[in-house]
Amino acid sequence: MKIFIDTADIEEIREINSLGILDGVTTNPSLVAKTGKPWKEAIAEIVTEVSGKPVSVEVIATDVAGMVKEAKELSRIAENVVVKIPCTEAGLEAVARMNNEGAGVKTNVTLVFSPLQALLAAKVGATYVSPFLGRIDDISYDGMLVLEEIINIYEVYDLATEIIAASIRHVDHVRRCAELGVDIATVPYKVIKQMFRHPLTDLGLERFLKDAQAAGITI
């Protein structure tokens, strides 16, 4: 499973990228706004920091022509830009239009909450589709169940669009994503940090070091 980080914070991206486990970045307008930086500056820093790895950047327009125009502008920023497009009728038409004209824009259909939306995203040739697990849980439905249904449909029809499990809230979401074999999980910084930790690792290391010291072991 590929691991993306879901943030626009350059320090968080830099730290996790240096750990050697990062495959890409997803941002959205809310995450970029949180940085307090001018939009262009924040995006330029990120695409350079993780050069060669996909970085999702979202359009603001909501009509087809506006989304296509913004998508083309965004994808000119760097070769690793993936354009996030909302899963509306206009959004899917924009993705279809760009693919039909061979615009070479990589797309991530976002704000996906049902298997049928995911099916339509694949039909228009989206590069990625992002079902939002946590936000589905928030309305008292089961985000993991929706994800499983999407994976099953994609397998049955051998669809090429890659699935990004998004809106991840805790480590158990990540574990279950890996068990289901999802292509990618985009994970917030705090949850990535928690994935490294286990109390028995700390305890075991403490004991090993104590014993090594007592035995006078040096390397």
Stretch that binds ligand E4P, among 34-42, 97-105, 126-134, 196-204 (CB under 6 A): 126-134
Centre a 10 Å sphere on the Cβ of residue 114 and count the other Cβ atoms it contains: 15
Take residue 203 and report the two structure tokens written for it: 């305890």
Residue 170: left (phi > 0), alpha (psi -120 to 50), or beta?
beta
Residues 6+ apart with CB under 8 A from 153: 115, 118, 119, 159
Least Cβ distance, residue 111 to ligand E4P (angstroms): 8
Of these, 69, 106, 135, 170, which contacts ligand E4P (CB under 6 A)? 135
Write the interaction track for ligand E4P spanning residues 154-183; mark x where CB under 6 A is met and - where it is not.
------------xx----------------
Cα distance between residue 194 and residue 172, in whole Å:
10
* The one catalytic residue among 84, 190, 193, 210: 84
Of these, 6, 9, 12, 162, which contacts ligand E4P (CB under 6 A)? 6
The residues with which 2 forms a beta bridge, in sequence order, are 184
Least Cβ distance, residue 149 to ligand E4P (angstroms): 19
Size of the site for ligand E4P (CB under 6 A): 11
The angle at the Cα of 54, spanning 26 to 155, to the nearest 5 degrees, equals 85
75 binds ligand E4P (CB under 6 A): no
Q: Which residues bind ligand E4P (CB under 6 A)?
A: 6, 26, 28, 110, 130, 132, 134-135, 166-167, 186
Residues with catalytic function: 84
